Amino acid sequence: MTRTAFFISDGTGITAESLGRSLLAQFENVEIRMITKPYIDSVDKAHQLAAVIASTAARDGEKPIIIDTVVDSEIREVIREAPGFKVDIFSTFLEPLEQELATHSSYSVGRTHAIGSDDVYMDRIHSVHFALDNDDGARTHQYDQADIILVGVSRCGKTPSSLYLALQFGIRAANYPLTEDDLDESGKLKLPKVLEQHRHKLFGLTIDPRRLAAIRHERRPNSRYSSMDQCVQEVTQAEALYRRMHIPFIDTTRFSVEEISTRMIAETGINRRFSPR
């Protein structure tokens, strides 16, 4: 079964899409064609979109699913008349909240993703800059300012996780690659000296060697770097180091960057500087 879902907003559409994807992900047996329509902020745009929804319904032979966070009542009414199954997030949740709080909502477009506090916005920017400046062991002298230092073999997800932690939570995350340069005389992976004084900030990432080999093959095909033997060796040594040094770690193979990051926060107890938007 294939259905079309529209995520509609008079703002960025991030809230409608995030919630919509989360809801629809629960229906594994249904193939969903997802379409995001942000900035539907006029009645004319709403009518144009309603026509698209109608033509989609005619083409599919099924009503499209419509998930919206439209604030404007006139625009919402036009969308409501389109032939689809409606999930109106604001009217579903705001009206009961208004009754409970005994006050009216401001019904402000884009409130969730607005800059808001200048301090929070600047903290977000500084955290992202910190993650970029301290990517891949680039500036180890700043590790005293880090909230967390991700360690792991090349291409196991350190950089995207660091950036997500910075952008979504304001966490200053550095990351450091474990390489063959860190092997001792016996062939065991040892903790690099630059990390020794920051052991309490370390968090390890690991990955299935087969997945790692596939990722590396896209970067450097048919190389020692992407060979299965090399990937197995590096992952095995990294995991042995984590266990030997009691460094908490997570397997990133089947987790999204969102799951990796929130699991790290839950396990380490790091304080978020702000909540995700």
Cα–Cα distance for residue pair 53/81, rounded to 1 Å: 10
> Residue 268 burial (CB < 10 Å; 0-12/13-18/19+)?
middle
Query: 154 labelled as ligand-binding?
Result: yes
Q: What order of strands is seen across the sheet that includes strand 31-37?
A: 31-37, 2-8, 65-68, 85-88
Query: 76 labelled as ligand-binding?
Result: no
162-186, pLDDT tens digit by residue? 999 998 899 999 999 999 999 988 8
Task: Supply the pLDDT for residue 106.
Answer: 63
Q: Which two tokens stand for residue 235?
A: 């992952």
224-275, pLDDT tens digit by residue? 999 999 999 999 999 999 999 999 999 999 999 999 999 999 999 998 876 6
Query: 152 labelled as ligand-binding?
Result: yes
Residue with tokens 């596939």: 214
Q: Which two tokens stand for residue 110?
A: 């884009």
Between 275 and 91, residue with greater pLDDT: 91
Find all residues with CB under 8 Å of 217, minimum gap 6, and list them. 226
Domain 3-113 fold is Rossmann fold (3.40.50)
Task: Supply the pLDDT for residue 50.
Answer: 97
Cα–Cα distance for residue pair 181/8, rounded to 1 Å: 51
Instruction: Name the amino acid, one letter, at 116.
Output: G
Q: CATH 3.40.50 in the chain, residues? A: 3-113, 118-268
CATH of 118-268, one of 3.40.190, 3.40.720, 3.40.50, 3.30.70: 3.40.50
Which pTM value belongs to this model? 0.69
SS3 state of residue 174? strand
Query: 155 labelled as ligand-binding?
Result: yes
List strand residue ranges (DSSP E) for 9-147, in order.
31-37, 65-68, 85-88
SS3 state of residue 114? coil
168 Cα distance to chain centroid:
8
Beta bridge mates, 5: 34, 65
Cα–Cα distance for residue pair 137/11, rounded to 1 Å: 38
Task: Supply the pLDDT for residue 107.
Answer: 56
